[in-house]
């Protein structure tokens, strides 16, 4: 005879509603609130438990976001006019010139006798090709062409561009941004020479650095290399560890300095002092070194981290300054000849 197992039905489990407002609270008048706790209400219902929110407490005070609006600051403006206004303090007031690096030499200061290295730059037929205006292009700039190029090697669109400006085909064309309309004082088709810069002023020189191909970490970044003691084998110039383990996520962090292509990138050398200016030969001598090998094309413009020089803004001012220097040189020559004659 089979035995029958006695089964007992368990009563249904009442769900626990954690964090929900009890039904007794919903039946209270609208004038009551949870903050108005009184013994009379406490007798009728139980105070709800506090809901805990898990979070990480930071010990660092968050830095204010410079893009967020604050009542003490003026409202942000994302228009193009506002962007040009924010950059006005670091935009030169006049155009720069295109030059070629001819090599390095040294000059002696006649007052102190100090010898300093310098670079010779040559200004080769710089002419204004076009103007970029705020209304048409969205910014102010002067387009400068330099050098000479055969007509057969110039594309037809560029031939039309040069013909509209009334200049010969140029080998190099660069743009120099200016602060405002006053920087467009040089007219299209006019030629600028070395007298555009003055002796003693500060300039920034931009160009492409000399390419050195694929180089190791020691030459590219100045690493010290591995020890050259006993037991070290074939790792004297090695860079060492490239990435950590669990601490850095078992990966190589972005931006790790490693072996790779060195040079051949755009470089700006700031605050170079103009030592000599030769208008007849188009020579500008600056103190220090500039990027690139010999015959490298460079851009020279007024230094942005120095006060703007009181240089010429138009070609007429350049011609008048050159005439003044020439007349002063003639006067000095005549005075020297007179003094020599009087001595004889």
Total number of domains constituting the chain: 1
- Nearest Cα to 237, choosing from 249, 219, 252? 219
Burial-class residue 144 by CB neighbours within 10 Å (0-12, 13-18, 19+): buried
Domain membership of residue 73 (yes or no) is no
Domain membership of residue 326 (yes or no) is yes
Check: CB of residue 190 under 8 Å from CB of residue 318. no
Rg (C-alpha) for the chain, rounded Å, is: 38
Domain membership of residue 205 (yes or no) is yes
Residue with tokens 């609270």: 25
| pLDDT for 80 | 84
Say how far apart CA 89 and CA 216 lie, in whole Å: 40
Burial-class residue 157 by CB neighbours within 10 Å (0-12, 13-18, 19+): exposed
The whole-model pTM stands at 0.69
Say how far apart CA 58 and CA 86 lie, in whole Å: 35
> Residue 49: helix, strand or coil by DSSP?
coil
Q: Return the sign of the alpha-carbon dihedral for residues 44, 49, 50, 53.
A: negative
Domain membership of residue 277 (yes or no) is yes
The DSSP symbol for 57 reads P
| pLDDT for 218 | 94
| pLDDT for 241 | 87
Domain membership of residue 40 (yes or no) is no
Neighbouring CB atoms inside 10 A of 269's CB total 18
Domain membership of residue 193 (yes or no) is yes
Neighbouring CB atoms inside 10 A of 192's CB total 23
Domain membership of residue 38 (yes or no) is no
Mean pLDDT by 10 residues, the chain (344 residues): 61 63 52 52 53 67 68 73 88 95 92 91 95 93 95 95 95 95 92 93 96 95 89 88 84 92 96 94 95 96 93 81 56 58 55
Residue 276's CATH number: 2.40.30.10
> Residue 100 sits in which domain range?
84-209+262-331
Check: CB of residue 106 under 8 Å from CB of residue 116. yes
Domain membership of residue 243 (yes or no) is no
| pLDDT for 245 | 85
Say how far apart CA 189 and CA 98 lie, in whole Å: 15
């Amino acid at each position: 005879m089979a035995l029958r197992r006695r089964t007992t039905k368990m009563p249904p489990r009442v769900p626990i509603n954690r964090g929900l407002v009890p039904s007794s609270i919903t039946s209270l008048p609208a004038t009551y609130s949870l903050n108005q706790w009184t013994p009379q209400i406490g007798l009728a219902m139980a105070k709800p438990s506090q809901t805990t929110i898990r979070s990480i407490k930071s010990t660092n005070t968050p830095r204010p976001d410079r893009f967020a609006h604050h009542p003490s600051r003026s409202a942000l403006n994302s228009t193009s006019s506002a962007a040009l206004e924010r950059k006005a303090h670091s935009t030169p007031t006049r155009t720069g010139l295109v030059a070629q690096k001819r090599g390095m030499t040294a000059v002696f200061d006649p007052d102190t006798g100090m010898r300093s290295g310098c670079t010779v730059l040559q200004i080769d037929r710089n002419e204004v090709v076009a103007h970029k205006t705020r209304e048409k292009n969205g910014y102010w700039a002067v387009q400068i062409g330099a050098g000479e190029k055969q007509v057969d090697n110039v594309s037809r669109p560029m031939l039309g561009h040069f013909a509209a400006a009334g200049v010969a085909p140029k080998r190099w064309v660069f743009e120099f941004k200016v602060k405002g309309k006053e920087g467009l004082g040089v007219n299209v088709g006019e030629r600028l020479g070395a007298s555009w810069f003055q002796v003693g002023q500060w300039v920034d020189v931009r160009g492409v650095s000399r390419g050195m191909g694929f180089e190791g970490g020691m030459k590219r970044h100045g690493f010290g290399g591995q020890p050259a003691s006993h037991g070290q084998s074939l790792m004297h110039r090695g860079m060492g560890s490239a990435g950590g383990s669990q601490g850095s996520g078992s990966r190589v962090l972005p931006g790790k300095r490693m072996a790779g292509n060195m040079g051949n990138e755009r470089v700006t050398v700031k605050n170079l002092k103009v030592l000599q200016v030769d208008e007849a030969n188009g020579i500008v001598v600056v103190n220090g070194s500039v990027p690139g090998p010999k015959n490298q094309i460079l851009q020279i413009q007024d230094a942005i981290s120095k006060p703007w020089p009181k240089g010429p803004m138009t070609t007429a001012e350049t011609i008048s300054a050159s005439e003044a220097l020439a007349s002063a040189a003639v006067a000095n020559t005549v005075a020297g000849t007179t003094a020599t004659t009087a001595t004889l």
